[in-house]
Structure 1
Amino acid sequence: MGWKLSAIIIDTVEDTEKVLSCFNFSDFEYYQTEALEIVMLPKANEIYIGTYNKKTIICVDVFPQEIIESRNSELENNLITLFPNSEICCLILHSGVNLWGYSLIKNGEKIRARAGWSNVGTTVESGVPIKEELELLSKSRINDSGKREYWFEENPGNPFQEDQVGENFVFKILERYFTDEDIYDDLLFETDLKGYKFTLKSGLQSESDHTIPTVVAEKP
């Protein structure tokens, strides 16, 4: 089974209406309640919000990727304004094209962002590695072409490219907020989220598929 995920995690329990106010919606209305595993990548006009382990989970398309790729998106600024002392994490995965990415905002500052996909490689990398990345990064080295590749004991003669281990990184970042039992025994993915349909204000992106990143951000 491939993974498709587009989510924002806030490390505190937040009021749903306050969370919705961060988004530039012209209107929204309650739609349905679904388990996280079903709505990890919602339709373009849907957003799902819930809590687990004293964290707020938001599943919505496009917006997490925009925060990962940009430096000052409108949503990022709104989240920082309303939750200035919180940790805000964005995660994206799409196994079909090995799309992966994550960013971390702490106390109003984006301290880490990484993303990439299979046809291009790593397209976003900024900030200093956080502890959850270190184990995987320790298994990597820069090859003669200047690209990072990963060597694992179970496949000693077969290096992996960064897009092939992007999913591993995203799950490592999840471990920052949830326990192994939460993640790997599916307790997290069985939690219910409330879904809302919304209308975007004119001029905002509303495509259902993730855009493919094409610009490489500056590296640390």
Structure 2
Amino acid sequence: MGWKSSLIIIENKEDFTDESEILKALGKSEYEFDEELTLDECIYTNDKSINIGYYNGNIIISDDYQLTTNSLEIADKLKMTEEENRLVELFPTSEIVTVACHSAVNYHGYSVIENGIKKRLKIISSDEPRIEFGERIKEENEIYDKSYSKGNQNFWKDNDDPEKYFIEDQLMEDFTFGIAKRRLGVLLDHPEGDEIMEQVTFRKYKNPTQTSEVEESIKSNNKAKWIKYGIIILILIVWQILKRTAFKN
């Protein structure tokens, strides 16, 4: 299965449920409730929505790469983004785990904030070497301990074929969902994660202005499509007339 996902997982010590405040912290205060759905349906929506659910004492935000791009891919070392700082204001003593992955390039990245301080950040893909800051956490070490090093690279043996091996970016799911399990308690890509993926209710929030823009774009594309078809039909009609008149003579 191919994965494309980005999640912010917040330790919910006080059973916080004010989603308008969460949206405000994310810089999305204009977003409005759209519908209820499952994590399986909103883990990658590709519609610039914010999806919020609750599981195992955590707030889970599926952000459609709107925030994780800044906090992971183009992060300034362990410096926190504005959105992360605002989340810390809401949850000053909570652990905040952010994970993201994209199967097309084996990209995966994650960060850990503890007591208002970003302690760990790592990103890697098939196109880019590993970039990491801070001390590795327990869940990472459990994966790295199974590898062997050659030069500056880690390798993992293929249990099904001793002649083959994996490199770090190919363990995208192991790292992404292994780190997420730190808070969720389950692996999202295994049967143990079926409950959160398929049964937990998430609430989708969308920018109403963005929805209008998308609808207008669809209408515009449909109009252009019918104009194109009309021109083609007109050309065919003219061609048939020419065949019956000028070419016949």
**If the length of structure 1 is used for normalisation, what is the TM-score?**
0.82
Gaps of 5+ in 1: 201-220
Does 2:62 match 1:59?
yes
Gaps of 5+ in 2: 210-249
Give the equivalent residue in structure 1 for 2:106. 98
Deviations 1:127-172 (A, max 9, x none): 111111122101223323x222223444432221111012101121
Does 2:15 match 1:7?
no
Matching residue's letter, 1:196: Y
Give the equivalent residue in structure 1 for 2:153. 147
**Higher RCO, 1 vs 2 (CA within 8 Å, ≥6 residues apart):** 1
- Tell me, in whole angstroms, the C-alpha distance in 2 between the residues paired with 1:127 and 1:152: 29
Structure 1 pair 84/142, CA: closer, same or farther in 2 (3 Å)? same
Mapping for residues 117-128 of structure 1, pairs under 5 Å: 117-122=125-130, 124-128=131-135
- Which of 171, 178, 184 pairs up with 2:191? 184
Give the equivalent residue in structure 2 for 1:212. none
Larger radius of gyration: 2
Superposed CA RMSD: 2.1
- Tell me, in whole angstroms, the C-alpha distance in 2 between the residues paired with 1:159 and 1:44: 37
The farther-off stretch of 46-55 and 69-78 is 69-78
Give the equivalent residue in structure 1 for 2:166. 160
Give the equivalent residue in structure 1 for 2:120. 112
Report percent identity of matched pairs: 34
How many residues are treated as equivalent by the alignment? 198
Larger relative strand fraction: 1
CA contact (8 A) 1:105 1:111 kept: yes
**If the length of structure 2 is used for normalisation, what is the TM-score?**
0.73
Larger relative helix fraction: 2
Shift of 1:26: 5.7
Deviations 1:145-200 (A, max 9, x none): x2222234444322211110121011211221233488633011121100011279
Give the equivalent residue in structure 1 for 2:137. 130
CA contact (8 A) 1:47 1:198 kept: no
Does 2:13 match 1:40?
no
Give the equivalent residue in structure 2 for 1:17. 20
Mapping for residues 191-202 of structure 1, pairs under 5 Å: 191-198=200-207
